[in-house]
């Protein structure tokens, strides 16, 4: 029993050490892509975009560092209210995707620019029902549109990027009307900012924010726009 316990402890210690020594690069590399040829018309008032692109921690984190975004909330879209909780969604059988509701000021950032950031640095839109180490339909690439105009812009942009062959494989992102968005549990909100040294965040998500700063310098803001007033910890 002692030998078994010791072996388990050593295995756990080794795994933790390896996790913290992972190279500082994202599982999905950023891709330089052109802006959309078709964008949403200028509008007044706060607008809403809902995007899914893998684990919502990183998606939220990127858009919280994006100028013009007034709020970005992690949550679930695609299923029912009854199954909109992390344990159920993690089964992959609820129809939900981990998604982020983005409230933005169209006078400061356009819907098209949000999509450009989404396709470029947030995730790899060619991965079907997965993203990096996360596997299942809950991690699918999906755009939940809130208007016919958003649908038109999203579909045109996907066609534009596929036509230009900016990715090595076709984009598999699904575009569909938003039926509902359900905010995730409180402990999922602002996760990247509150846990920057957590191995998953450090390896998969912090590099996405760094790529945002590098590729979209005009849209990057250093201080994130947080959901909660929680104090960041290391």
Q: Return d(Cα 109, Cα 162) in angstroms, integer.
A: 24
Token pair of 159 as six digits = 């066609």
DSSP 1: -
Q: Return d(Cα 145, Cα 151) in angstroms, integer.
A: 6
What are the backbone dihedrals phi and psi of residue 164, each rounded to the nearest 5 degrees, phi first? -85, -5
Contacts of 105 (CB under 8 A, 6+ apart): 46, 47, 68, 70
Nearest alpha-carbon partner for 143 in 108, 107, 118, 160: 118
Nearest alpha-carbon partner for 139 in 195, 76, 184, 181: 76
The answer to whether the CB of 178 falls within 8 A of the CB of 147 is no
Q: At what angle do helices 56-64 and 206-215 cross, to 10 degrees?
A: 40
Whether residue 200 lies in the annotated active site: no
Catalytic residue among 27, 33, 49, 55: 55
- The SS3 assignment for 215 reads helix
Which residues belong to the active site? 55
């Amino acid at each position: 029993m002692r030998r078994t316990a010791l072996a388990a402890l050593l295995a756990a210690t080794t795994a933790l050490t390896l996790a913290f020594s992972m190279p500082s690069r994202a599982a999905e590399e950023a891709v330089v892509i052109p802006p959309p040829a078709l964008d949403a018309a200028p509008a007044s008032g706060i607008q809403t975009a809902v995007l899914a692109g893998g684990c919502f921690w990183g998606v939220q984190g990127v858009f919280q560092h994006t100028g013009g975004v007034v709020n970005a909330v992690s949550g679930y879209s695609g299923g029912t209210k009854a199954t909109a909780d992390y344990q159920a969604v993690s089964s992959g059988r609820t129809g939900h995707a981990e998604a982020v509701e983005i409230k933005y000021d169209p006078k400061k950032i356009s819907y098209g620019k949000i999509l450009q950031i989404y396709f470029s640095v947030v995730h790899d839109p060619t991965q079907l029902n997965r993203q990096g180490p996360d596997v299942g339909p809950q991690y699918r690439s999906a755009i939940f549109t809130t208007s016919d105009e958003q649908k038109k812009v999203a579909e045109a942009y996907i066609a534009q990027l596929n036509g230009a062959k900016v990715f090595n494989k076709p984009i598999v992102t699904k575009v569909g009307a938003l039926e509902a968005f359900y905010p995730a549990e409180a402990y999922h909100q602002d996760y990247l900012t509150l846990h920057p040294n957590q191995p998953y965040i450090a390896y998969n998500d912090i590099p996405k924010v760094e790529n945002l700063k590098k590729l979209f310098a005009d849209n990057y803001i250093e201080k994130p726009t947080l959901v909660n007033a929680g104090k960041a910890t290391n």
